[in-house]
Amino acid sequence: MTLTQLRAFLLAATLESFTAAATALGTTQPTVSELVRKLEAENGLQLFVRGGRHLVLTSAGRELLPWARRVVDGADGAEQSLNAFRGMTGGVASVGVLRNAPYYFLSDLAVRFHAERPGVRTRLIGQNSVEVAEGVRSGELEAGLVVLPIVDHGLAVTPILRDEVLWATTDAARTVHPMTVESITEAPLILYDAHYGWEDPTRRQLAERAQLAGVRLEPMIEVENVESALALVARGVGDTIVSRAIAVNAVFPPEVFTVPFADPFYETIAVITREDAALSPVTSELLRLATEMVMMTHSEAVT
């Protein structure tokens, strides 16, 4: 078996598609299919069940998968280490970031990293933490910044900071005292991250608190991003939750007031990587810089 065959097999298994694997490799679907077919023929074993909408690993395929990942990661690591000795003048740095990353650092991060490593291609994927975790787990992303809690199977998780969650409203009377879960229902509730709903880490914390208090939370309006939620709050439609980093940002609507919760709770931001993979030097550098900048932004927000 060859490294090329193992790489084709690994991507096909991870992406559950020869076509998707071909796209990732920059080649054609027949080429990937033939590489896997030869690997199967050489070993006298079928690695995939074909015919459905997605490729499914056979028992032999599941047995080969961790070994293929080690070989491919090892080869990639060797090449990336040599690139590091050449001064990180090429390659791709791939990191998943918080969907609300622009309030922390995203634009400045891209500018600064490009200035320091102009030959390195940069991928900063802004997604919900659920998607970032899955992207890192599958190998689509090398690392990520997420809000906890997440499903951490196969991941190494390193918490780096906590950012307090605040209540946001245009009704100044609702900010005289710290917000309680019981008081949330006194105004229409607007929540973002509509796609993941209560699976979103911050919304999960809010739902758990409401359940313990015997309160049922039903958002009147759900939108996909915090900007849309704040625009609705600014127009007096209802209230929402935001992190302190968002609340102190220059673009935060001036007519929106914030107040802490009586029982404070926080978004915990963490770095995640795959347990069984070493980061490429360029991604390690990008992740180091991202961590440094988000911590600096958070420090400025609380002072």
The CATH number covering residue 74 comes to 1.10.10.10
Whether 143 and 172 map to the same domain: the answer is no
Assign 211 a pLDDT band (cuts: 50, 70, 90): very high
Least confident of 15-24, 42-51, 87-96, 163-172: 87-96
Average pLDDT of the segment spanning 5-29: 90
Q: Is residue 178 scored above 70 in pLDDT?
A: yes
Q: Is residue 176 scored above 50 in pLDDT?
A: yes
Residue 107 belongs to some domain of the structure: yes
pLDDT digits (tens, 9 = 90+) for 218-272: 999 999 989 999 999 999 999 999 999 899 888 899 999 999 999 999 999 999 9
pLDDT of res. 97: 82
Q: Are 221 and 188 in contact (CB under 8 A)?
A: yes
Q: Is residue 89 scored above 60 in pLDDT?
A: no
**Count of CA atoms in the C-beta half-sphere (13 A) of 221:** 19
| Residue 199 neighbours by CB under 8 Å, 6+ apart | 130
Q: How many CB atoms lie within 10 A of CB 55?
A: 21
Coil, strand or helix at 110: helix
Highest mean pLDDT among 64-68, 72-76, 166-170, 200-204 belongs to 166-170
Whether 186 and 259 map to the same domain: the answer is yes
Assign 102 a pLDDT band (cuts: 50, 70, 90): low
pLDDT, averaged across the chain: 87
Whether 145 and 212 map to the same domain: the answer is no
Residue 48: which region, alpha, beta or left (left: phi > 0; alpha: psi -120 to 50)? beta
Q: Is residue 85 scored above 50 in pLDDT?
A: no
pLDDT of res. 90: 60
Q: How many CB atoms lie within 10 A of CB 303?
A: 6
pLDDT of res. 107: 65
Q: Which helix (H) or strand (E) element contains residue 63?
A: helix 59-85
Q: Is residue 55 scored above 80 in pLDDT?
A: yes
- Separation of alpha carbons 221 and 174, rounded Å: 19
- Separation of alpha carbons 278 and 269, rounded Å: 21
pLDDT of res. 81: 65
Handedness of CA 51, 55, 61, 62 (dihedral sign): negative
End-to-end CA separation in angstroms for the chain: 58
pLDDT of res. 113: 82
Q: Assign residue 287 the CATH number of its domain.
A: 3.40.190.10
pLDDT of res. 82: 65
Q: Which helix (H) or strand (E) element contains residue 96?
A: strand 92-98
Whether 182 and 254 map to the same domain: the answer is yes
- Separation of alpha carbons 297 and 160, rounded Å: 13
pLDDT of res. 274: 92
Give how far Cα 145 sits from Cα of 22, 94, 282, 293, 294, Å. 28, 11, 16, 12, 10
Residue 12 belongs to some domain of the structure: yes
Whether 45 and 179 map to the same domain: the answer is no
- Separation of alpha carbons 6 and 80, rounded Å: 18
Domain boundary among 19, 49, 82: 82
pLDDT digits (tens, 9 = 90+) for 103-150: 766 667 878 888 887 878 788 887 789 899 999 998 888 898 899 989
Domain boundary among 82, 111, 143: 82
Residue 16 belongs to some domain of the structure: yes
Whether 26 and 76 map to the same domain: the answer is yes
Domain boundary among 62, 82, 102: 82
Query: Whose CA is closest to 214, among 260, 180, 188?
Result: 180
Which domain range does residue 290 map to?
Answer: 92-156+273-302
- Separation of alpha carbons 70 and 9, rounded Å: 13
Beta strands 143-148 and 266-274: pairing type? Answer: antiparallel
Give how far the C-alpha of residue 288 lies from the chain's centroid of Cα atoms, to the nearest Å: 16
Q: Which helix (H) or strand (E) element contains residue 245?
A: helix 244-247
Whether 166 and 245 map to the same domain: the answer is yes
**Count of CA atoms in the C-beta half-sphere (13 A) of 279:** 22
Assign 98 a pLDDT band (cuts: 50, 70, 90): confident
If one counts the domains in the chain, the total is 3
Whether 169 and 202 map to the same domain: the answer is yes
Residue 87 belongs to some domain of the structure: no
Whether 151 and 277 map to the same domain: the answer is yes
Whether 39 and 76 map to the same domain: the answer is yes
Residue 261 belongs to some domain of the structure: yes
Whether 134 and 151 map to the same domain: the answer is yes
Whether 35 and 98 map to the same domain: the answer is no
